[in-house]
Amino acid sequence: MQPSELQAEQFSGYPPEARRVVLAHLEALRELPLIFIPSLLREVIDYDFKFPTERSAIEGELVLLSKSSQAQRHDRLQAFERLSISPKLERSDWINQPAQFTEQLSAYLWSTHQLDAFRAAATEYGARLQSEMPSEPLPTHRLGIAVIGQRVTSFDGRLFKNLREHGTYFNQINPEHGLELLLEAVAARSKANTVPYGHWYVDGGQEASHGALLTCVSYKSLEPVREALLRNVKAEIEKPGMGPEELRTHLARLTPSDLGMNSDGDAVLDRFQLKVLTEGSGTQIFSTTFAQWTAREVLRRAQALTLLVRFAPRQRQRPMNELLSSSQGDSEVDPIGSLIDADMASYYHWINQRRLPGYDQSAFLVWFEGHNEALVIAPTLPRGTTSNSVLDLGQLLSLAIS
């Protein structure tokens, strides 16, 4: 089916808000190339479960496309129009299963050596879209905090290697009440600038006491969901004909209630957590990966103003000889390996924060929990230097956001 044949009733399976958005822009959708439109619908179909920033972006894009003349739309999308898709993809139900379409399109683009051309078209389209979309001023400068190394008593390696050239390394930090001071500060930010899903606390273990206005996600609190997911997957892979791609499709269709998430909860947050576990590779197994991927998605999707991520020790990867001997060891953790994971993850946290609007005014702090080492990247602090100042975490954070 071609986009020009789109009819309103074909979107009857969409959630209410998503259907409203689609129908408001149906004329424009009919003009879009088939290779392009399912990726847009993939976002729209989840509109009801999107964060406010995502909703604004979707509507903004659709408004822009609707306002464009036919010639302007052609100009904007001609690089996509030059690409081919298979008849099988054309026949697929891309209206109701846009995610499945884009998954299969991706495989098709790889196999027909069109991926690079698609990337170039997408990059060009994205750059143009960003330049034309109105940008709202941020209510406050963005702040990222990473707390790494929980339960590590000593570490001989050099931390923050990738970040040092960008900020100031502090080696005389007073660690006392460090986490509490940081959590109090982010709670204060959430009160001072009330923005839905604007202020986050992600914990790779058990969450600590935190402000009520913070959106909190923790590995520990999702334990029943993770276990339900693993049971679900185990049952699925035992079915005949199940392969990796079929499994991925199955995971994409899961809903929070399939994994026992409370239907009275926050539907947007529940859907977000579900996607972290079903789309993030390794998030179900390693708490460090869970925390890193969650932080990435919080920044990419919710565009958080404040994000504190605390890493906890992940389970130890057992070597082959141990697995063969069937000795028990599942409950063991690997604090040093987790510190190394989290050190890299904090670098990614900073990179991802820099991808967002206002990056040049944003601040980032990473602290080796319980120890004297920290690093701050902020517009007011010098780069590539070391400070011997004796500060507690509250004072250090004040310095970062001053």
Partner 1 sequence: MNRQSFRDDLAFGRPRLDAPTAEEIASHLSQSRREFLRATAGLALGTAVGRSSPFLRGEAIRKKRKTIVVTFGGGARDQETFAPEGQENIPHLINELAPQSSFFTHVTNQGILGHYVATASLTTGVYETLNNFSAVPPEHPTVFEYFRKDLRRPASDTWVVAPSNGFNRIGESDSRSYGPGTGAAVILPKHLLSATASGTTEDLDHLLRDNYETPFYTPQIGGGEFELQQLGSILRLSVADFMAHARTLSSPDELSVYIAKRLMQQEAPSLLWITMHDIDVAHSGAFSLYVEGIRRTDRLCAELWKTVQSEPEYAGNTTMFILPDFGRDSDFEPGGNGFQHHRTGDVASRTTWMMALGAGVRPGVVFDDPMQSVDLVPTLGAMLGFTPAQSTGRPIKEFM
Site for partner 1 in 228-287 (CB under 8 A): 233, 237, 243-245, 247-248, 280-283, 285-286
Question: Closest CB to partner 1 among 54 and 373?
Answer: 54
* 123 forms part of the interface with partner 1 (CB under 8 A): yes
* Least distance from partner 1 to the Cβ atom of residue 247, Å: 6
Question: Closest CB to partner 1 among 262 and 326?
Answer: 326
Question: Closest CB to partner 1 among 218 and 292?
Answer: 292
* 142 forms part of the interface with partner 1 (CB under 8 A): no
Site for partner 1 in 283-312 (CB under 8 A): 283, 285-286, 288-289, 292-293, 296, 299-301
* 107 forms part of the interface with partner 1 (CB under 8 A): yes
379 CB neighbour count, 10 Å cutoff: 10
Which residue type, as a one-letter code, is found at position 97?
Q
* Least distance from partner 1 to the Cβ atom of residue 185, Å: 25
Site for partner 1 in 317-356 (CB under 8 A): 317-321, 323-326, 334, 336-338, 340-341, 343-345, 347-348, 351-352, 354-356
Q: What is the largest CA-CA distance in the chain?
A: 68
What are the distances in angstroms from CA 166 to CA 75, 170, 347, 362, 381? 40, 13, 11, 13, 10
Question: Closest CB to partner 1 among 168 and 346?
Answer: 346
Site for partner 1 in 367-386 (CB under 8 A): none
* Least distance from partner 1 to the Cβ atom of residue 111, Å: 4
Question: Closest CB to partner 1 among 168 and 283?
Answer: 283
* Least distance from partner 1 to the Cβ atom of residue 161, Å: 7
First-to-last alpha carbon distance for the chain, in angstroms, is: 56
User: Which residue of 31, 46, 48, 54 would you call a contact of partner 1, by CB under 8 A?
Assistant: 54
**Whole-number Å distance between alpha carbons of 202 and 146:** 10
Question: Closest CB to partner 1 among 161 and 177?
Answer: 161
- Which residue, chain included where needed, has tokens 């399976």? 13
**Whole-number Å distance between alpha carbons of 211 and 391:** 24
* 86 forms part of the interface with partner 1 (CB under 8 A): no
Number of residues engaging partner 1 in binding (CB under 8 A):
76
* Least distance from partner 1 to the Cβ atom of residue 270, Å: 20
**3-state SS assignment for residue 166:** helix
Site for partner 1 in 148-187 (CB under 8 A): 161
Tell me the β-bridge partners of 215: 200
User: Which residue of 84, 106, 172, 380 would you call a contact of partner 1, by CB under 8 A?
Assistant: 106
**Whole-number Å distance between alpha carbons of 249 and 254:** 9
Provide the strand spans (E) within 22-172: 143-148, 168-170
Q: Which alpha helices (DSSP H) does 260-389 contain, by range?
A: 267-279, 287-297, 320-325, 335-354
Could you give the string, one character per residue 14-53, with x where binding to partner 1 holds by CB under 8 A and - elsewhere? -------------------------xx-xx----------
User: Do residues 332 and 345 touch, judged by C-beta distance below 8 A?
Assistant: no
**Whole-number Å distance between alpha carbons of 369 and 152:** 8
User: Do residues 286 and 316 touch, judged by C-beta distance below 8 A?
Assistant: no
**Whole-number Å distance between alpha carbons of 348 and 281:** 16
